[in-house]
Amino acid sequence: MSDLLIVIPAYNEAENIENVVGNLMRVCPDYDYIVVNDGSQDETAEICRKNHFHLLDLPVNLGLAGGFQAGLRYAEKHGYRYAIQIDGDGQHRPEFIESMRKKMDEGYDIVIGSRFVDAEKPLTMRMFGSNLIELAIRLTTGMRIKDPTSGMRLFNRKMICEFAKGLNYGPEPDTVSYLIRCGAKVAEVPVVMDERQGGVSYLTPIRSARYMFRMLVSILLIQSFRRRKV
């Protein structure tokens, strides 16, 4: 058993999940993983069973926050020292996990795989929203997170327990902002991400705009009322 668990939330990822897990097993054979099938309506679960993938099969769709928390509860229960989220659409490259782990061992609680540590953000509406979230986090915490919307995040044991046992701990920028304010040490490591391998993203332009607005309101206003210490 590894001391690091790779959590792969998957909702309707039948076109991608076999390649994602297969690549993961080739690149990182020494790490454990768990696919969290979040009540998919396609053949995601069947493909995992057919290939004997390690599967946590949720009977209903809980959304990203619920699915991720289920994976972190699994990590907490089985005593993992580290847990990292890898999306089921193939965007996150597992070869960067080791550098993120080494960074965490310098004394960090959360390490984010960042596309923009050493690169400029492209001039798109999505990156404009990312810049606004980056600014909001900087205004409320004093820390600059260059890729706040990155879903590739590594958590140490303390954070695993925090996410597993706490309520309203979605794997989102507002939660990262809140944890920084509570004293969590966060770092970024440069990574390269790919485009979605197949299927259709749920983030339409309208949903993306709503997501950015919700994150900004949460970071600038709502998080001020949370008082739980890490």
> Could you tell me if 170 and 64 are in contact, meaning their C-beta atoms sit under 8 angstroms apart?
yes
Q: pLDDT band for 71, please (50, 70, 90 cuts).
A: very high
Kindly state whether residue 11 falls inside one of the protein's structural domains.
yes
Q: At residue 121, does pLDDT exceed 90?
A: no
- Whether residue 120 is contained in a domain is answered as yes
Which domain does 46 fall in, by range?
4-225
Q: What is the pLDDT of residue 202?
A: 57
At 61, the pLDDT band (50, 70, 90 cuts) reads very high
The answer to whether 88 and 17 are in contact (CB under 8 A) is: yes
Q: For position 206, what pLDDT does the model report?
A: 84
Domain contains 230: no
Query: 208 or 90: whose pLDDT is higher?
Result: 90
pLDDT at residue 227, as a whole number: 63
Question: Is 186 within a domain?
Answer: yes
User: Which CATH number is 16's domain given?
Assistant: 3.90.550.10
The answer to whether residue 211 sits within a structural domain is yes
> What pLDDT band is residue 204 in, cutting at 50, 70 and 90?
low
Own/partner pairs for 135-139, CB < 8 Å, 24+ apart? 136/177, 136/215, 136/216, 136/219, 136/220, 137/173, 137/176, 137/177, 137/180, 137/219, 139/220
pLDDT at residue 76 in the model: 97
| Number of domains within the chain | 1
Taking the C-alpha atoms of residue 135 and residue 24, their distance in angstroms, rounded to an integer, is: 34
CB-based contact 46:13 (threshold 8 Å): no
Sheet holding 32-38, edge to edge: 55-58, 32-38, 4-10, 82-85, 153-156, 110-114, 186-190
What's the pLDDT at 87?
93
113 domain-assigned: yes
Least confident stretch, 71-80, 106-115, 168-177: 168-177
Compute the residue count for the chain. 230
Statement: residue 74 has pLDDT above 90: yes
Give 201 or 135, the one with higher predicted confidence: 135
Mean pLDDT of 88-116: 96
Question: For the segment 170-197, what is each residue's pLDDT rounded down to a tens digit?
Answer: 889 999 999 999 999 999 999 999 986 7
pLDDT, tens digit (0-9, with 9 covering 90-100), for 122-170: 777 778 889 999 999 999 999 999 999 999 999 999 999 999 988 778 8
